[in-house]
Amino acid sequence: MQKYLYLALDLGSVLVPILFSFYPKKHFASTWRAWLPAIAAPAVLFIVWDEWFTAMRVWGFNSNYLTGISFGHLPLEEILFFLCIPYACLFTYVAVNYLKKEEPLPDRGLRVTWTLIVGLVAVGIKNYDRWYTMVTFFGLAAFLLYLILVIKPNYLGRFYFSYLFILIPFFLVNGVLTGSWIERPVVWYNDEENLGIRMGTIPFEDTFYGMLLILMNVVIYEWRMARLPASSAPPAP
């Protein structure tokens, strides 16, 4: 049964969010015209990135934990990861902001954003020869810079706050995928292409890789929600 482990993690991650998506006072499921493109568009980008890095052996997969269905260099489970995890995280973002309606950061996350940009660029420059570190850190820094200079969203503070909650299940799932509580990792990493810093078994870069993915989901979701007709919005609390 171990060959279904990665598939079970994908489906288990999204099961509870799907069930609660039909909560009458915040009917997340009804906003599918916002969350569907918000998940699909970044998934395409990340799957291409994933295929590239897998072919380069920046990371790879343990066939003992896979069903054996693959597309290119990627197992089916890895592709599902970019659909199931973003749905669960996007639902969590919406749920956290439904429960905490006031702005959690006085400057709406601007100082956090600039701190992240400076730190990411500095580490990325210093580690330009490490593919995972360089691409992830420069990618996130560039996207954050684009947001604050061009998009100028008012929800970055709420995103950072909700991401603290998203990290809890994210670390649990990623912990298993990278070898916590199991004999061997489901996903292995070439430490010559990252900082070599592990949080338990999880590479340090994964936190920022996940932030870039989920932030892209949130940005597209918020953009689409602002354009949905009033009749398509979920019921008011």
Task: Render pLDDT for 20-32 as a digit per residue (tens, 0 to 9).
Answer: 999 887 789 999 9
Cα separations (Å) of 130 from 74, 136, 171? 21, 10, 23
Residue 109: Cβ-neighbour burial (10 angstroms; 0-12, 13-18, 19+): buried
pLDDT (average), residues 163-175: 97
d(CA 233, CA 26): 9
pLDDT at 101: 82
pLDDT at 230: 64
d(CA 9, CA 219): 26
What percent of the chain is modeled with pLDDT above 90?
Answer: 90
Whose tokens are 């979701």? That residue is 221
pLDDT (average), residues 52-79: 98
d(CA 33, CA 49): 25
Q: What is the signed CA dihedral for 41, 164, 196, 49, rounded to 10 degrees? A: 0
* Contact of 205 with 124, CB cutoff 8 Å: no
Cα angle, residue 172 at apex, residues 168 and 177 outer, rounded to 5°: 140
d(CA 69, CA 174): 21
Task: Render pLDDT for 182-218 as a digit per residue (tens, 0 to 9).
Answer: 999 999 999 999 999 999 999 999 999 999 999 999 9
